[in-house]
Amino acid sequence: MVGGYTPACTDAAADFYARFIETVVRARGTREAETAKLLENTYRHVNIALVNEMARFCHELDIDLWDVINAASTKPFGFQAFYPGPGVGGHCIPIDPNYLSHNVRSKLGYPFRFVELAQEINATMPAYVARRAQNLLNAAGQAVRGATILLLGITYKANIADQRESPATPLARQLSALGATVSYHDPHVATWDIGGVPVSRTDDLEGAVASADLVILVQSHREYDVDHLARLAKRFFDTRGVSTVREAHRL
Protein backbone atom coordinates (compact mmCIF):
# COMPACT_ATOMS: atom_id res chain seq x y z
CA MET A 1 0.00 0.00 0.00
CA VAL A 2 1.53 3.32 -1.08
CA GLY A 3 0.18 6.84 -1.20
CA GLY A 4 2.18 9.91 -2.04
CA TYR A 5 1.85 13.58 -1.25
CA THR A 6 1.34 14.16 -4.98
CA PRO A 7 0.46 11.75 -7.82
CA ALA A 8 4.09 11.90 -8.92
CA CYS A 9 5.18 10.84 -5.44
CA THR A 10 2.78 7.91 -5.55
CA ASP A 11 4.16 6.88 -8.95
CA ALA A 12 7.73 7.03 -7.66
CA ALA A 13 6.93 4.96 -4.57
CA ALA A 14 4.93 2.41 -6.58
CA ASP A 15 7.75 2.07 -9.15
CA PHE A 16 10.26 1.49 -6.37
CA TYR A 17 8.26 -1.18 -4.55
CA ALA A 18 7.28 -2.89 -7.80
CA ARG A 19 10.91 -3.93 -8.21
CA PHE A 20 10.57 -6.50 -5.44
CA ILE A 21 6.85 -6.72 -4.53
CA GLU A 22 4.41 -8.54 -6.78
CA THR A 23 1.34 -6.39 -6.07
CA VAL A 24 1.52 -2.69 -5.18
CA VAL A 25 -1.77 -1.09 -4.13
CA ARG A 26 -2.10 2.65 -4.66
CA ALA A 27 -4.07 4.82 -2.26
CA ARG A 28 -5.35 8.30 -3.03
CA GLY A 29 -2.72 9.94 -0.83
CA THR A 30 -0.56 9.64 2.27
CA ARG A 31 -3.45 10.00 4.71
CA GLU A 32 -5.52 7.33 2.99
CA ALA A 33 -2.57 4.92 2.89
CA GLU A 34 -1.83 5.41 6.59
CA THR A 35 -5.49 5.15 7.57
CA ALA A 36 -5.82 1.91 5.58
CA LYS A 37 -3.08 0.46 7.79
CA LEU A 38 -4.82 1.75 10.91
CA LEU A 39 -8.17 0.32 9.79
CA GLU A 40 -6.68 -3.13 9.12
CA ASN A 41 -5.00 -3.28 12.52
CA THR A 42 -8.12 -1.93 14.25
CA TYR A 43 -10.24 -4.56 12.49
CA ARG A 44 -8.04 -7.30 13.93
CA HIS A 45 -7.88 -5.65 17.35
CA VAL A 46 -11.69 -5.44 17.63
CA ASN A 47 -12.31 -8.98 16.39
CA ILE A 48 -9.68 -10.45 18.70
CA ALA A 49 -11.41 -8.65 21.57
CA LEU A 50 -14.72 -10.19 20.49
CA VAL A 51 -13.42 -13.76 20.71
CA ASN A 52 -11.48 -12.99 23.89
CA GLU A 53 -14.71 -11.89 25.55
CA MET A 54 -16.50 -14.93 24.17
CA ALA A 55 -13.73 -17.13 25.62
CA ARG A 56 -14.58 -15.91 29.10
CA PHE A 57 -18.28 -16.66 29.07
CA CYS A 58 -17.91 -19.85 27.02
CA HIS A 59 -15.61 -21.16 29.75
CA GLU A 60 -18.25 -20.35 32.37
CA LEU A 61 -20.95 -22.04 30.28
CA ASP A 62 -18.76 -25.09 29.50
CA ILE A 63 -18.85 -24.38 25.75
CA ASP A 64 -15.83 -25.31 23.62
CA LEU A 65 -15.19 -22.01 21.84
CA TRP A 66 -12.50 -23.54 19.61
CA ASP A 67 -15.05 -26.01 18.27
CA VAL A 68 -17.52 -23.14 17.85
CA ILE A 69 -15.00 -21.18 15.77
CA ASN A 70 -14.22 -24.22 13.63
CA ALA A 71 -17.93 -24.77 13.02
CA ALA A 72 -18.57 -21.12 12.16
CA SER A 73 -15.59 -21.19 9.78
CA THR A 74 -17.42 -23.67 7.55
CA LYS A 75 -19.68 -20.84 6.41
CA PRO A 76 -18.39 -19.91 2.94
CA PHE A 77 -19.00 -16.17 3.35
CA GLY A 78 -19.56 -13.54 6.02
CA PHE A 79 -17.23 -15.00 8.66
CA GLN A 80 -13.50 -14.75 9.26
CA ALA A 81 -11.97 -16.80 12.05
CA PHE A 82 -10.22 -15.01 14.89
CA TYR A 83 -8.92 -16.83 17.94
CA PRO A 84 -8.67 -15.97 21.64
CA GLY A 85 -5.38 -15.80 23.45
CA PRO A 86 -3.59 -14.45 26.53
CA GLY A 87 -3.54 -10.91 25.11
CA VAL A 88 -2.29 -9.08 22.04
CA GLY A 89 1.23 -7.90 21.37
CA GLY A 90 3.61 -6.58 18.75
CA HIS A 91 4.20 -3.14 17.34
CA CYS A 92 0.91 -2.82 15.43
CA ILE A 93 -2.27 -4.20 16.98
CA PRO A 94 -1.94 -2.87 20.54
CA ILE A 95 -0.55 0.47 19.39
CA ASP A 96 -2.04 1.58 16.07
CA PRO A 97 -5.72 1.40 17.14
CA ASN A 98 -4.95 3.38 20.30
CA TYR A 99 -3.11 5.97 18.24
CA LEU A 100 -6.16 6.27 16.00
CA SER A 101 -8.50 6.50 18.98
CA HIS A 102 -6.35 9.18 20.61
CA ASN A 103 -6.37 11.26 17.43
CA VAL A 104 -10.13 10.95 17.04
CA ARG A 105 -10.67 12.06 20.62
CA SER A 106 -8.11 14.89 20.57
CA LYS A 107 -9.00 16.29 17.13
CA LEU A 108 -12.74 15.61 16.93
CA GLY A 109 -13.70 15.59 20.59
CA TYR A 110 -15.46 12.24 20.82
CA PRO A 111 -14.34 8.66 21.56
CA PHE A 112 -13.70 5.83 19.15
CA ARG A 113 -15.76 3.47 21.28
CA PHE A 114 -15.02 0.22 19.48
CA VAL A 115 -11.28 0.70 19.92
CA GLU A 116 -11.52 1.75 23.55
CA LEU A 117 -13.68 -1.25 24.44
CA ALA A 118 -11.42 -3.62 22.49
CA GLN A 119 -8.39 -2.25 24.31
CA GLU A 120 -10.10 -2.71 27.66
CA ILE A 121 -10.88 -6.36 26.89
CA ASN A 122 -7.55 -7.29 25.33
CA ALA A 123 -5.49 -5.51 27.98
CA THR A 124 -7.16 -7.51 30.77
CA MET A 125 -6.53 -10.93 29.21
CA PRO A 126 -3.19 -11.53 31.00
CA ALA A 127 -4.92 -10.90 34.35
CA TYR A 128 -7.73 -13.25 33.29
CA VAL A 129 -5.20 -15.97 32.42
CA ALA A 130 -3.51 -15.45 35.81
CA ARG A 131 -6.88 -15.90 37.56
CA ARG A 132 -7.56 -19.05 35.58
CA ALA A 133 -4.12 -20.34 36.57
CA GLN A 134 -4.88 -19.60 40.21
CA ASN A 135 -8.20 -21.41 39.94
CA LEU A 136 -6.57 -24.47 38.34
CA LEU A 137 -4.13 -24.72 41.22
CA ASN A 138 -6.86 -24.14 43.80
CA ALA A 139 -8.94 -26.92 42.26
CA ALA A 140 -5.99 -29.24 42.82
CA GLY A 141 -5.71 -28.15 46.45
CA GLN A 142 -2.59 -26.06 45.90
CA ALA A 143 -2.11 -22.37 46.59
CA VAL A 144 -0.63 -20.21 43.86
CA ARG A 145 1.73 -18.72 46.44
CA GLY A 146 4.83 -20.87 46.33
CA ALA A 147 3.72 -22.78 43.25
CA THR A 148 6.14 -23.21 40.35
CA ILE A 149 4.68 -22.00 37.05
CA LEU A 150 6.44 -22.51 33.73
CA LEU A 151 5.58 -20.25 30.78
CA LEU A 152 6.16 -21.73 27.34
CA GLY A 153 6.80 -19.15 24.61
CA ILE A 154 7.12 -15.50 25.66
CA THR A 155 7.19 -13.73 22.30
CA TYR A 156 4.19 -11.85 20.96
CA LYS A 157 4.00 -14.03 17.85
CA ALA A 158 4.86 -17.64 17.13
CA ASN A 159 8.23 -18.66 15.68
CA ILE A 160 9.97 -15.31 16.09
CA ALA A 161 12.09 -13.66 18.79
CA ASP A 162 10.18 -10.37 18.98
CA GLN A 163 8.92 -9.65 22.49
CA ARG A 164 7.43 -6.19 21.92
CA GLU A 165 4.24 -5.75 23.96
CA SER A 166 4.09 -9.50 24.55
CA PRO A 167 1.26 -10.53 26.91
CA ALA A 168 3.76 -12.86 28.59
CA THR A 169 5.21 -9.86 30.43
CA PRO A 170 2.05 -8.71 32.27
CA LEU A 171 1.11 -12.37 32.78
CA ALA A 172 4.42 -13.13 34.51
CA ARG A 173 4.07 -9.95 36.54
CA GLN A 174 0.56 -10.95 37.66
CA LEU A 175 1.63 -14.48 38.61
CA SER A 176 4.65 -13.20 40.52
CA ALA A 177 2.43 -10.75 42.41
CA LEU A 178 0.27 -13.70 43.45
CA GLY A 179 3.35 -15.34 44.94
CA ALA A 180 4.17 -17.90 42.24
CA THR A 181 7.72 -18.77 41.23
CA VAL A 182 7.75 -18.11 37.49
CA SER A 183 10.22 -19.53 34.97
CA TYR A 184 10.12 -19.73 31.20
CA HIS A 185 11.23 -21.63 28.15
CA ASP A 186 11.45 -20.15 24.69
CA PRO A 187 13.69 -21.48 21.90
CA HIS A 188 13.94 -17.97 20.46
CA VAL A 189 14.71 -15.98 23.64
CA ALA A 190 17.95 -16.57 25.58
CA THR A 191 17.31 -14.06 28.37
CA TRP A 192 14.22 -12.29 29.68
CA ASP A 193 13.68 -9.72 32.37
CA ILE A 194 10.64 -7.89 33.68
CA GLY A 195 11.29 -4.38 34.91
CA GLY A 196 14.98 -5.19 35.16
CA VAL A 197 14.40 -8.38 37.18
CA PRO A 198 15.66 -11.50 35.35
CA VAL A 199 13.24 -14.39 34.87
CA SER A 200 14.72 -17.85 35.26
CA ARG A 201 15.11 -19.70 31.95
CA THR A 202 15.15 -23.47 31.68
CA ASP A 203 17.09 -25.40 29.05
CA ASP A 204 15.66 -28.77 30.12
CA LEU A 205 12.23 -28.41 28.55
CA GLU A 206 10.80 -31.83 29.35
CA GLY A 207 12.25 -31.89 32.86
CA ALA A 208 10.88 -28.43 33.64
CA VAL A 209 7.45 -29.31 32.23
CA ALA A 210 7.27 -32.49 34.31
CA SER A 211 8.32 -30.79 37.55
CA ALA A 212 6.32 -27.55 37.36
CA ASP A 213 3.09 -27.30 39.33
CA LEU A 214 1.50 -25.64 36.30
CA VAL A 215 2.62 -25.19 32.71
CA ILE A 216 1.06 -22.38 30.65
CA LEU A 217 1.41 -22.40 26.88
CA VAL A 218 1.58 -18.69 26.09
CA GLN A 219 2.95 -18.94 22.55
CA SER A 220 2.83 -22.08 20.41
CA HIS A 221 6.21 -22.17 18.67
CA ARG A 222 6.72 -24.85 16.03
CA GLU A 223 9.45 -26.38 18.20
CA TYR A 224 6.87 -27.46 20.77
CA ASP A 225 5.19 -30.85 20.57
CA VAL A 226 2.28 -29.50 22.56
CA ASP A 227 0.41 -32.77 23.09
CA HIS A 228 3.58 -34.50 24.29
CA LEU A 229 4.31 -31.68 26.72
CA ALA A 230 0.71 -31.66 27.94
CA ARG A 231 0.96 -35.36 28.77
CA LEU A 232 4.20 -34.78 30.70
CA ALA A 233 2.82 -31.91 32.77
CA LYS A 234 1.02 -32.19 36.10
CA ARG A 235 -1.31 -29.45 34.90
CA PHE A 236 -1.26 -27.87 31.44
CA PHE A 237 -3.06 -24.65 30.54
CA ASP A 238 -3.23 -24.08 26.78
CA THR A 239 -4.04 -20.45 25.96
CA ARG A 240 -3.72 -21.08 22.21
CA GLY A 241 -6.18 -23.93 21.76
CA VAL A 242 -3.72 -26.27 20.02
CA SER A 243 -3.63 -29.24 22.40
CA THR A 244 -5.83 -32.26 21.74
CA VAL A 245 -4.99 -33.92 25.07
CA ARG A 246 -8.18 -34.35 27.04
CA GLU A 247 -6.58 -33.47 30.37
CA ALA A 248 -5.22 -30.15 29.10
CA HIS A 249 -7.14 -27.04 30.09
CA ARG A 250 -7.86 -24.58 27.30
CA LEU A 251 -8.62 -20.88 27.40
Tell me 114's DSSP state: H
Residue 92 falls in the annotated catalytic set: yes
Which amino acid, one-letter code, is at 157?
K
Catalytic residue, chosen from 51, 58, 69, 92, is 92
Q: Helix and strand tally (H, E) in the chain?
A: 9, 8
Contact yes or no for 137/235 (Cβ under 8 A): yes
Measured between alpha carbons, how far is 96 from 94 in angstroms, rounded to an integer? Answer: 6
Show the beta-strand stretches assigned E in the chain. 148-152, 181-185, 193-194, 197-198, 200-201, 214-217, 236-238, 249-250
Per-residue HEC secondary structure of 158-195 comes to CCCCCCCCCCHHHHHHHHHHCCCEEEEECCCCCCCEEC
Which amino acid, one-letter code, is at 80?
Q
Q: Which of 122, 81, 118 is nearest to 101 (CA)?
A: 118
Measured between alpha carbons, how far is 131 from 127 in angstroms, rounded to an integer? Answer: 6
> What amino acid positions are annotated as catalytic residues?
92
